[in-house]
Structure 1
Amino acid sequence: MFKLLRLFVWLFGGLVVSSSEALDGFYTAGVAEFRPAIMGGTSQQLLEANLAGYLELMALGNGTTDIIVFPEATLNGVLTLTAVPEFTKLSLCEEQPGDDTEIAPFLRQLACAAREYGTYLLVNVKERATDKFSGANMIHNTNVVFDRQGAVISRYRKWNLYLEPSTNRTEEPELATFQTDFGVTFGHFVCFDMLFYTPAQDLVERLGIRHVIVTKMFNSELPFLTASQLQQGWAWSNRVNLLAAGGSLPQAGISGSGIYAGEQGALARLMMKDETEGQRKLLLARVPLDPEEEPMDNELLEADETTPIRLKLLQQPELKKFATWELPMVEGSSVDKRLCQEDLCCEFRIKWSPVDGGHNYRLGVWVGQRRYEEEQYSAIRLCGLFACSNSSVESCGLISEEQREQRVVFTELQILGEFVRRPRRLIMPSTLSSSHLYALQPSQLTWSMEELDNLTRIKMELRQPHSQLMTFAIYGNYFDEYANGGAGRLGTQLVLLITTLMMMHLIGE
């Protein structure tokens, strides 16, 4: 009966929602933090193990979800490719006359699971495709979306590739969206895309998408780009709901999933901070149809923890180029400090007291270019406070064994930044607490923006004392300001770590 009701709504009520929760202004979303099987079997055996894990998590949803999202690069590999249709009128669960014979059985099994549990389903696969112009074989990093009946309703092929030598880009970037029977239009992309204007900002700014999905296999980097920290800041500044599903390989520096409701903060999130073994876990949340509306259950029960950080973290490679000032670790200290670099000036007002020695901290301002891989760059403007393991700037973003349990209590912390206006940019709060490697929730800070003639004045302030800060910063990504050859290179540590991960995948294949 319920399935018939959904069908009726789909056919006759384009703006009518199908579930009682959606009628109340919410939908139920699930995102998976997923540890892929990467060693110990043939490529087919690894695929089957990953598929079994997907189906198990979907069963845990128990048919209560409106949409479930799985992360990037956690299902099949280059030896177990599948074709992915752009869309299908009927369910992919059963083979239809004229179907592409290269559609793999595992993709049909997932379509059947979407139908069995009555949920929209987004998964990321390695796709085999044929170039329509040259006829050449292509491999894409592809998101595919099934509706509640298992029909393919959206496909997206990753545009901003990151150390993926066997993967091809499309001729032009794609903007992928799909509509649901609960009144929401989603846009979606893959991992590294989040750091660039196309397609991520295009979806939000050009198409007006308010509900966004990202599939990730993300290497976290201190002080500003850990996974959940970036996800929450991105959702906050774009004022969108964000469903982020992440791979879980902490020994390779990969973890971070969550569901975020714009300026309302995280509804559910997970970082594998103190384990070397990844998890397979489904995070569930009731998500407001309007990202501006405060969720009913927005209070996350996350106790402070003093467990060590075992997640392998990268380090921002350009710290030597920052204009910085070290905070003296003296009891009852305070400072009013103004730091500038090029066209960015920031004012800091801080009061703090060290406890048991505490971390070292620096204030920093940076205007510069950031190189990620090959010819891909970001132009960054940022100002903030960040933790260091000793008094040198080179130690900022590093965590030493002896200082993991030591704290500094910040009783007052305010940053006022004057950021140059540009047509295409994203300026977001970048905060991080050592207790879980999560961003601060909205109840813990204030954020305001004032537009002037040629500047944006941003004020960011801590609402209450905090003793576990690792980062408290204003982070600006200026998408059009970069020049080839002018950016700093990623550190050797990053290249080695990502290469190691790729080799692990190849061994598994």
Structure 2
Amino acid sequence: MNFVGWIIVFNCLMLCSVVYTQKTYRAGVYAHRVIQPNGTHTSVSRQKALDNMMKNINIYNNVASEARNKGVQILVFPDDGLYGHDFTRQGIGPYLEYIPDPTKETWNPCTDPEKYNNNSDILWNLSCIAQANNIYMVVNMGNFKTCIKSSDPNCPTDGHYQFNTDVVFDRNGTLIARYHKTHLYNEDQFDAPAEPEHIFFDTPFGRFGLFTSLDMVFKTPAISLIEDYYITDVVCPAAWADLPPLLSSIQFHSAFAMGMGINLLAANLQVPGDSIYGSGIYTANGYKTFYDISNQSKLLVADLNSNSIEDVNDRTETEMNRKQNATSDLKHVLVKKASSTKDEFDTPHITSGTFMGEIFNDTYAMKILENLGDVVTVCDNSLCCEFDYQMMEGSGKLVAFGAFDGLHTYLHRMYLQVCVVLECAGSSPQTCGIPTEESNLYFREFRLMGNFSTKYVFPEVLVSDSGRKSLASGDLYDFHDGVLEVINGLRLPLISASLLSRDYARD
């Protein structure tokens, strides 16, 4: 083993020194239909803000009691769950509290509520709920921190920071973790931390990484936290806007867990009118449970395996080299197969039978699947995708296979490489990529692959169940070495199957 390999092992032994006494644990995530106050653009009194938040706190209290009765050991609530969204900076002010750094001091707000001048009402309530129900609890709230411009050049002009913050309480109500959201989206009321934070906490049933919603799409802190700190379980409060056919909440969250080989507890806000919904508990082998659009809140519960030191050691240099070599081999095979096709893509990238279609405001090179069985290749820039399939009789709608290799700039800046097959919304190429939840597209089998530039590839399989989007069971498809494979059908009609790769260095 070389020097780098020994460093990896040494760091792992240091970080993984905690002994976990449980081999399994029961997780809960709450899909919360938040009670949102009126007048979020103007400041209200602190008492009014507390009254507004207590409506949601009371719900959390009841949910924690329900979770305890069901044997839940760790419970996750969503982003913005205490007060909703659509605030201005002034409007959110009265809802914030000072939250100390648990790595620098130990504090139990339930037993010591006056430590910070009686201005810890929300922390006190949450701490006491966790204590009363003997449960680890993850909650999102707002954090207020004063600063001085003369000593801190990043200090906002109003003299304080406002952070979108996740807090974690242990079973005694002690505050054990605090995380400030890095990647804000339409959140002018909050500040991003000067440096991204890598936060995790230990329990008797494993080590959990912590980040919020959109953070999952970027390398820092999500990927770097998982890789550098050997995290195999993640809790993620979210307020994720549903964006099919590639970034539906349940779709991407499930793909992220499978692509990174982790357990993921994702609690999403329920605001269907703003297309915010979709919570779930996911593993490296597929979903355990999920809950999509509805006007109702719901507690989701699932049993998960605790990840051991052996699971952590799988992320050694040897494993990473194996994945890199497999990806390199796949690149050579695809480039060789597609060389004659790709030459015609150079300027412009259109070839016979290929058209340019739009998905999520990006322009894809696409081909219509004309046969019930075939091997099809399509390329965009340096990415070539291959689809080897056997399809059942079609429904009259077109089926498209597409590739995208470029910088996505709509809503977020992120470099994407995507191979995707989907049923079009209608019978013309212009409908390919329009989001739909209905499908009559059945495959007997298929293999989807691409010569991606990185190892960060996330396998997405979205199906239609009674006219609503759903997830395929993880035992019906396989993802290995960058290849998404279905052998005996998905049982439900396919909306889209995709390999979404992130080249973080090119964002």
Cα distance change on mapping 1:474 and 1:187 into 2, 3 Å? same
Q: Does 1:323 align with 2:365?
A: yes
Deviations 1:332-376 (A, max 9, x none): 722221111221112212232345x35432100110111254xx5
Q: Which residue of 1 aligns with 2:111?
A: 94
User: In structure 2, what residue type is equivalent to 1:326?
Assistant: I
Q: 1:164-179 maps to which residues of 2 (within 5 A)? A: 164-179=187-202
| 1:380 aligned counterpart, secondary structure | strand
- How far is the alpha carbon of 1:393 from its aligned partner? 4.7
Query: Which residue is 2:501 aligned to?
Result: 476
CA pair 139-391 structure 1, distance change in 2 beyond 3 A: same
Seen in structure 2, the aligned counterparts of structure 1 residues 392 and 128 have a Cα distance that, compared at 3 Å, is farther
Question: Offset at 1:416?
Answer: 2.9
Task: Name the CA distance, whole Å, in 2 between partners of 1:145 and 1:253.
Answer: 27
**2:168 corresponds to:** 145
CA distance in 1, matches of 2:20, 2:452: 43
Match for residue 100 of structure 2 among 61, 82, 85: 85
In the alignment, is residue 193 of structure 1 matched against residue 215 of structure 2?
A: yes
2:385 corresponds to: 346
Instruction: Provide Cα deviations, 1:406-454, integer angstroms capped at 9, x if missing partner.
Output: 512222322232223x4xx5111011012153332221112221xxxxx
- SS of residue paired to 2:392: strand
Amino acid across the alignment from 2:34: P
Alignment partner, residue 434 of structure 1: 464
Shift of 1:106: 2.2
- Partner of 1:419: helix, strand, or coil? coil
Task: Label 1:170 to 1:362 Cα distance change in 2 as closer, same or farther (>3 A).
Answer: same
C-alpha contact 2:244 2:435 (8 A) present in aligned 1: no
Partner of 2:89: none
Helix, strand or coil at the partner of 1:108: helix
Match of 1:311 in 2: none
Q: Which residue of 2 aligns with 1:117?
A: 133
State the TM-score, normalized to the length of structure 2. 0.77
- 1:224–1:431 Cα contact (<8 Å) kept: no
Q: CA deviation at 1:90?
A: 3.9
Q: Distance in 2 between matches of 1:66 and 1:49?
A: 24
- After TM superposition, list the pairs within 5 Å mapping 1:11-30 onto structure 2: 15=19, 17=21, 22=22, 25-30=23-28
Relative to structure 1, the CA distance from residue 406 to residue 165 in structure 2 (aligned partners, 3 Å threshold; closer, same or farther) is closer
CA contact (8 A) 1:345 1:418 kept: yes
Shift of 1:60: 0.5
Deviations 1:379-418 (A, max 9, x none): 1111120122124454334356xxx655122223222322
Residue 286 of structure 2 corresponds to residue 265 of structure 1: yes
The one-letter code of the counterpart of 2:233 is H
Secondary structure of the corresponding residue to residue 139 of structure 1: strand
Task: For structure 2, list consecutive stretches of 5 or more residues without a partner in the other structure.
Answer: 1-16, 40-47, 85-91, 312-357
Q: Using the alignment, how far apart are the partners of 1:406 and 1:470 within structure 2?
A: 6
What corresponds to 2:489 in structure 1? Answer: 465
Does 2:61 match 1:62?
no
For structure 1, the residue ranges without an aligned partner over 5 or more in a row are 1-12, 294-314, 450-457, 483-509
1:48 aligned partner: 54
1:463, CA displacement in angstroms?
2.2
Residue 229 (structure 1) aligned with residue 251 (structure 2):
yes
Judge conservation of contact 1:156–1:189 (CA < 8 Å) in 2. yes
CA distance in 1, matches of 2:234, 2:372: 43
Distance 1:102 1:476, change over 3 A: farther
Q: What is aligned with 1:241?
A: 263
Given residue 35 of structure 1, which amino acid in structure 2 is its aligned partner?
Answer: R
Once the two structures are TM-superposed, the CA of residue 110 in structure 1 deviates from its matched residue by: 1.0
Q: RMSD of the TM alignment (CA)?
A: 2.4
Question: Is the alpha carbon distance of 1:413 and 1:14 closer, same or farther for their aligned partners in structure 2, counting shifts above 3 Å?
Answer: closer
Aligned partners of 2:364, 2:359: CA distance in 1, in Å?
11
* Aligned-partner residue type, residue 434 of structure 1: S
Task: Write the letter of the residue equivalent to 1:74.
Answer: G
Q: TM-score under structure 1 normalisation? A: 0.76
TM-superposed CA distance for 1:316, in Å, is 3.8
Q: Separation in 2 of the partners of 1:102 and 1:226?
A: 41
Aligned-partner SS, 1:407:
coil
Q: Per the alignment, do residues 411 and 285 of structure 1 end up closer, same or farther by CA in structure 2, a change over 3 Å counting?
A: same
Q: Distance in 1 between matches of 2:483 and 2:20?
A: 40
Aligned to 1:494: none
- For 1:385, the equivalent position in structure 2 comes to 421
Residue type matched to 1:472 in 2? A
Q: Which residue of 1 aligns with 2:444?
A: 411
Structure 2 equivalent of residue 333 of structure 1 = 372
User: Deviation string for 1:25-53 (max 9, x for gaps)?
Assistant: 10111111111012469644431211111
Identical positions, percent? 26
Q: 1:136-191: CA deviations, max 9, x gaps?
A: 211110000111111111100001111111110111111111111x1411110000
Q: How many residues align?
A: 415
State the alpha-carbon separation in 2 of the partners of residues 384 and 398 from structure 1. 13
CA change 1:102–1:358 in 2 (3 A) is farther
What secondary structure sits across from 1:107 in the alignment?
Answer: helix
**Cα 1:324/1:236, change in 2 over 3 Å:** same
